[in-house]
């Protein structure tokens, strides 16, 4: 007993500071009780007892006393009293999961709102939220496969990179799960993991053999299907080109459908389970419940450590009687009302924005606005982030406004983005100088090389057009000087021969007037033709900018896009060409 008393200490002693406000509250209530109501000094005690009811006063004292006791016991329990150590085995959960995300073009279909791609991102985010232990990896695949994040217990990194993934960034179009599963087994092998689960988030599998050849009880393959049986067309670009869809060679729309029966057969053949994506976590729990050969999902480490046993739970038992005495039906009724209140509708824009502002930061709402094609709104939400605000201004066409934020970025990306803005404003020479700065640091920067060549061509056309305009103006000036000199000579000749040609002077004047009118008309026609040529040249340059100038690399997927492209080029150099599913690219 003495030994236990010597070991007594508090795990969280700072909770004892709660006794300071408890003592202050007790002193205030005692002081108020002693002071009384103020009538005791003015009214006789016998009359005061008749006028005042002492019943509620005594009841309030009991209630205050119970409340003070409850707060004191709660603070003591939260401080973590302990006096005993218990041995505890060190265990690590052996639960490895590799997620394969389908980034084929069919994932852009919108038969589920807002799109299959968005629904897949949300579902993977829910999977990561449910995984409290174990290692997780993410692989993206289309025509070939790439490891986004290797096996790690840092799910926050996967969540951050997940937003940047989209079918447009894949270097090879198509849908080839074979490469993705091969890469998944390589990740397991490199991490020395003998068993684990594979989860495919996809809207279809064209070749069942490409998945079934990887069947293994140690690595079951489960599938979560995204989409509907009715399907939907595949949009090309819902922001810049709304209403345009992927077509067959015959000009018909391609309808991407979800074949659940095929996906369920694949999951069953590979010892996994199939579930269609739905609201809630039931589909995830079902898909990840596929059994592994091992009986125990944890690995026991060859050591133990002693931990202090928190005895603060005894305070909860002491609080139970006080809780029963303070029971009030209204509290439970209020809780039921709060739980059953309908959630705000997300379809009404003002209410939806107010609701989003409760859960999302302004920069998160800005990213959301950019994703749905509202750059003007996004620019107002990125007030505390000059870089993203400049991106939003660039997308909305405010190129002059975007320069301020881009110039605050001293890196290569800032110089490249600033060059793009200046090119949009027609300052081609300044834009070329900035592209040269980028290439001096990164000579293989493909976008800067492409844009520099384009802007140099536009600058050359601009200079050539300016030179031709100057030559035309000089030619018109020479013609006017020649006409003036010829007119003077004609006047001198008329004066010297006035007597001899008096009969023909009127005819010569008429001919000279006709010549001047003809020359003036020809000059006007030349000016109109030159103006039309300049206007056509400006339109051509503007069209070239709109069509060819690469957009600002504003998404965090720029690094992933270059990584995927580099990996694909390395594989092609080694002679590893991705398998093609015929002519199908979706």
Mean pLDDT of 563-586: 77
- Are both 62 and 206 inside the same structural domain? no
Among candidate residues 238, 258, 235, the one with its CA nearest the CA of residue 246: 235
pLDDT-based confidence at residue 326 (cuts at 50, 70, 90): low
Residue at which a domain ends, from 265, 296, 327? 296
pLDDT-based confidence at residue 73 (cuts at 50, 70, 90): confident
**Under a CB-based contact definition with an 8 Å cutoff, are residues 250 and 232 in contact?**
no
Strand 81-82 versus strand 145-152 pairing type: unpaired
Give whichever of 86-90, 244-248, 276-280, 403-407 has the largest mean pLDDT.
276-280
**Under a CB-based contact definition with an 8 Å cutoff, are residues 493 and 512 in contact?**
no
pLDDT for residue 502 is more than 60: no
Q: Which residue has the higher pLDDT, 554 or 208?
A: 208
**Secondary structure of residue 88 in the 3-state scheme:** strand
pLDDT of res. 303 = 46
Give the pTM.
0.47
* Number of folded domains that form the chain: 2
pLDDT for residue 541 is more than 60: no
pLDDT of res. 418 = 87
For residue 390, count other CB atoms closer than 10 A to its CB.
29
Residue at which a domain ends, from 263, 296, 329? 296
**Secondary structure of residue 9 in the 3-state scheme:** strand
Among 12-21, 34-43, 160-169, 276-285, where is mean pLDDT lowest? 34-43
- Are both 98 and 122 inside the same structural domain? yes
Distance (Å) of CA 118 to CA 15, 98, 165, 275: 45, 19, 10, 18
Q: Which residue has the higher pLDDT, 343 or 437?
A: 437
**Secondary structure of residue 100 in the 3-state scheme:** strand
Within a domain: 230 = yes
Q: In what order do the strands lie in the sheet containing 274-276?
A: 145-152, 136-141, 97-102, 197-202, 221-225, 274-276
- Are both 30 and 112 inside the same structural domain? no
Within a domain: 26 = yes
> Could you give the CA distance from residue 363 to residue 350 in angstroms, rounded to a whole number?
18
Largest CA distance in the chain: 151
Place of tokens 């107002």: 380
Among candidate residues 147, 225, 159, 143, the one with its CA nearest the CA of residue 184: 147
Mean pLDDT of 60-84: 79
Each residue's pLDDT tens digit, 419-476: 888 888 888 888 899 889 888 888 888 778 888 888 888 888 778 877 877 776 776 6
Omega of the bond leading into 114 within 30 degrees of 0 (cis)? yes
> Could you give the CA distance from residue 182 to residue 192 in angstroms, rounded to a whole number?
16
pLDDT for residue 363 is more than 60: yes
Among 337-346, 371-380, 448-457, 555-564, where is mean pLDDT lowest? 337-346
pLDDT of res. 74 = 83
Among 119-128, 352-361, 541-550, where is mean pLDDT lowest? 541-550
Token digits of residue 185: 């087994």
How many C-alpha atoms does 269 have within 13 Å on its Cβ side? Answer: 14
Mean pLDDT of 264-288: 93
pLDDT for residue 331 is more than 80: no
Q: Is 135 exposed, middle or buried (0-12, 13-18, 19+ CB in 10 A)?
A: buried
pLDDT for residue 338 is more than 90: no
Domain residue limits at 138? 92-296
DSSP 115-161: -HHHHHHHHHHHHHHH--SS-EEEEEESSSEEEEEEEES-HHHHHHH
- Are both 112 and 252 inside the same structural domain? yes
Distance (Å) of CA 572 to CA 142, 186, 377: 16, 19, 43
> Could you give the CA distance from residue 275 to residue 126 in angstroms, rounded to a whole number?
14
Strand partners, 152: 136
- Are both 159 and 116 inside the same structural domain? yes
> Could you give the CA distance from residue 574 to residue 185 in angstroms, rounded to a whole number?
20
pLDDT-based confidence at residue 532 (cuts at 50, 70, 90): low
CATH of the domain at 216: 3.40.50.410
Residue at which a domain ends, from 280, 296, 312? 296
CA distance between the termini of the chain: 74
Distance (Å) of CA 86 to CA 13, 302, 521: 20, 17, 107
Each residue's pLDDT tens digit, 285-322: 999 998 888 644 454 444 455 577 777 777 877 777 76
- Are both 199 and 156 inside the same structural domain? yes
% of the chain at pLDDT higher than 70: 66
- Are both 36 and 126 inside the same structural domain? no
Mean pLDDT of 211-215: 93
Token digits of residue 250: 């015959």
- Are both 175 and 78 inside the same structural domain? no
pLDDT of res. 37 = 53
Each residue's pLDDT tens digit, 161-205: 888 898 988 998 889 999 999 999 999 999 889 899 999 999 999
Helices within 326-382 (DSSP H only): 329-340, 349-359, 362-371, 375-381
Q: Which residue has the higher pLDDT, 581 or 104?
A: 104
């Amino acid at each position: 007993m003495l030994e236990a008393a010597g070991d007594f200490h508090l795990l969280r002693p700072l909770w004892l500071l709660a006794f300071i406000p408890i003592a202050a509250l007790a002193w205030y209530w005692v002081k108020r009780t002693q002071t009384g109501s103020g009538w005791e000094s003015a009214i006789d005690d016998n009359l005061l007892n008749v006028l005042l009811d002492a019943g509620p006063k005594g009841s309030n004292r009991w209630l205050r006393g119970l409340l003070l006791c409850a707060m004191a016991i709660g603070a003591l329990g939260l401080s973590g009293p302990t006096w005993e150590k218990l041995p505890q085995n060190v265990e690590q959960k052996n639960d490895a999961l590799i997620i394969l995300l389908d980034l084929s073009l069919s994932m852009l279909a919108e038969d589920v709102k807002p799109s299959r791609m968005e629904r897949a991102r949300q579902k993977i985010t829910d999977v990561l939220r449910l995984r409290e232990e174990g290692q997780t990896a993410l692989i993206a695949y289309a025509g070939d496969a790439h490891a986004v994040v290797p096996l790690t217990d840092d799910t926050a990194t996967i969540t951050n990179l997940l937003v940047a993934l989209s079918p447009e960034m894949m270097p090879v179009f198509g849908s080839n799960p074979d490469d993705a599963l091969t890469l998944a087994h390589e990740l397991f092998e490199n991490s020395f993991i003998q068993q684990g689960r594979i989860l495919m988030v996809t809207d279809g599998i064209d070749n069942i053999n490409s998945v079934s050849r990887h069947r293994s009880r140690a690595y079951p393959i489960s599938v979560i299907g995204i989409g509907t049986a009715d399907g939907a067309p595949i949009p090309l670009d819902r922001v810049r080109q709304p209403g345009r869809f992927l077509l067959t060679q015959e000009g018909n729309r391609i309808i991407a459908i979800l074949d659940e029966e095929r996906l369920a057969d694949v999951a069953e053949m590979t010892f996994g389970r199939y579930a269609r994506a739905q609201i809630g976590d039931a589909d995830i729990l079902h898909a990840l419940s596929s059994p592994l050969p091992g009986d125990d999902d944890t690995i026991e480490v060859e050591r133990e450590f002693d931990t202090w046993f928190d005895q603060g739970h005894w305070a909860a038992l002491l609080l139970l009687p006080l809780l029963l005495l303070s029971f009030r039906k209204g509290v439970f009724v209020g809780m039921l009302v709060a739980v059953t209140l309908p959630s705000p509708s997300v379809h009404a824009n003002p209410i939806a924005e107010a609701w989003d502002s409760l859960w999302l930061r302004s920069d998160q709402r800005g990213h959301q606005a950019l994703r749905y094609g509202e750059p003007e709104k996004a620019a107002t939400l990125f007030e505390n982030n000059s870089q993203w605000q400049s991106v939003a201004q660039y997308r909305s066409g405010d190129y002059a406004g975007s320069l301020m934020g881009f110039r605050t970025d001293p890196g290569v990306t800032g110089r490249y983005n600033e060059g793009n803005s200046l090119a949009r404003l027609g300052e081609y020479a300044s834009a070329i100088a900035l592209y040269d700065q980028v290439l001096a640091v990164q000579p293989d920067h493909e976008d800067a090389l492409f844009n520099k060549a384009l802007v140099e061509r536009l600058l050359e056309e601009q200079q050539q057009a300016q030179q031709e305009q100057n030559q035309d103006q000089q030619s018109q000036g020479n013609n006017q000087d020649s006409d003036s000199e010829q007119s003077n000579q004609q006047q001198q000749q008329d004066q010297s021969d006035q007597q001899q040609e008096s009969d023909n002077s009127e005819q010569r004047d008429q001919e000279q007037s006709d010549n001047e009118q003809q020359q003036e008309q020809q000059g006007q026609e030349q000016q109109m033709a030159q103006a039309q040529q300049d206007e056509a040249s400006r339109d051509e340059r503007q069209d070239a900018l709109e069509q060819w100038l690469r957009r600002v690399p504003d998404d965090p997927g720029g690094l992933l896009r270059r990584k995927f492209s580099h990996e694909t080029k390395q594989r092609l150099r080694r002679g590893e060409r991705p398998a093609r599913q015929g002519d199908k690219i979706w």
